[in-house]
Amino acid sequence: MRKTVQQWLEEGIVDLFLGYRAVEGHPIPWVFRKDALHELEAFREGPYRYPLEKLAVEILREDPRVRLGLLARSCTERAVTVLQALHALDRERLILLQEPCCPSPLHRGVVCSSLAGPENGSQKRRDGIPRGRPLEELETWEADERFSRWMHELEKCLKCYGCRDVCPVCFCDQCTLQDPELFETGSLPAEAPHFHLVRAVHMAGRCVDCGLCEEACPVDIPLRTLYRKVGALVRDLYGYVPGHEPVPLLWGPLGDGELERLVAGERSREMVWEAVRRCSG
């Protein structure tokens, strides 16, 4: 892989390459360039994951001519596709160097170092939402218990905004989570569950299930599970999986009737088309 990066830089296929390099023992994101090829000696493929695509957006925006190579795990590729769909980056100037990695319900069959997270503690098992469990298993709890378990998790929130700041597909100039009419700034506890559900809704049609938010959460809220639920709803309702194709989700606003049927577990594409037809007609 190191040789490929060197070749890309030497042959001018890319002007810069964003990957990882060991600096003082820490593998960190690094921009490799042709005039400093010796830096490739400490090139790393991981094992730690950073939102490289988010850094790529900043680099491409700063220099409108630069061609950038990017070390891409599958989650990076999916995020790049979403960013392309939302016109947040110029895909023409970005060349991906694919790196095999992680399985998720949205993408199976490869291995990722970040999956071996911390063990669930006894309190989390008893009162909260244990991480890494499939949605079907969590949904076997009664609604009351599920609600109290989720609240146990969400009430820990420190409102650090780390989930948003680390998120590869969060790039809005104005963030609803900082709307003073919805959420009080500088006050704790966080407005659970609204704060988290607002973010969850905004993840619909965007979240690529990379799990960086959950890794960044200082209080171990199972955010990946929360957004997976949103992802499953969008998949079942619209047949849309973010990151598969560079087209955005055309969001058909749902009326009360549709929402009720949705909550009741009725998820048909017909229902959605009905809503879309009504909106466009």
Partner 1 sequence: MDYKLVPSVCPYCGTGCGILYKVLNDRITGVLPLKSHPVNEGKLCIKGWNAHAYVHHPLRLKAPLLKTEGRFHKVSWDRAIRTTADRLGDIREKHGPDAIGVLVSAKITNEENFLAQKFARTALGTNNIDHCARL
Which residues in this chain contact partner 1 in the complex, by CB under 8 A? 16, 23-31, 48-51, 55, 58-59, 62-63, 66, 158-162, 165-166, 215-218
- Least gap, CB of 175 to partner 1 (angstroms): 13
Nearer to partner 1, 49 or 196 (CB): 49
- Least gap, CB of 93 to partner 1 (angstroms): 13
- Least gap, CB of 129 to partner 1 (angstroms): 18
Pairing of strands 68-72, 94-98: parallel
* Of 223, 208, 224, 201, nearest in space to 157 by CA: 223
- Least gap, CB of 159 to partner 1 (angstroms): 7
- Least gap, CB of 40 to partner 1 (angstroms): 15
Nearer to partner 1, 135 or 158 (CB): 158
Nearer to partner 1, 23 or 135 (CB): 23
DSSP 52-104: HHHHHHHHHHH-TT--EEEEE-HHHHHHHHHHHHTT-S-GGGEEEEE-----B
Nearer to partner 1, 50 or 183 (CB): 50
Q: Is 20 helix (H, G, I), strand (E, B) or coil?
A: strand
Nearer to partner 1, 29 or 222 (CB): 29
Q: 146 Cβ partners below 8 Å, 6+ apart?
A: 138, 139
- Least gap, CB of 140 to partner 1 (angstroms): 30
Cα angle vertex 203, ends 19, 80, to 5°?
30
Nearer to partner 1, 90 or 215 (CB): 215
Q: Is 268 helix (H, G, I), strand (E, B) or coil?
A: coil
Q: Which two tokens stand for residue 14?
A: 């890319």
* Of 67, 8, 62, nearest in space to 40 by CA: 8
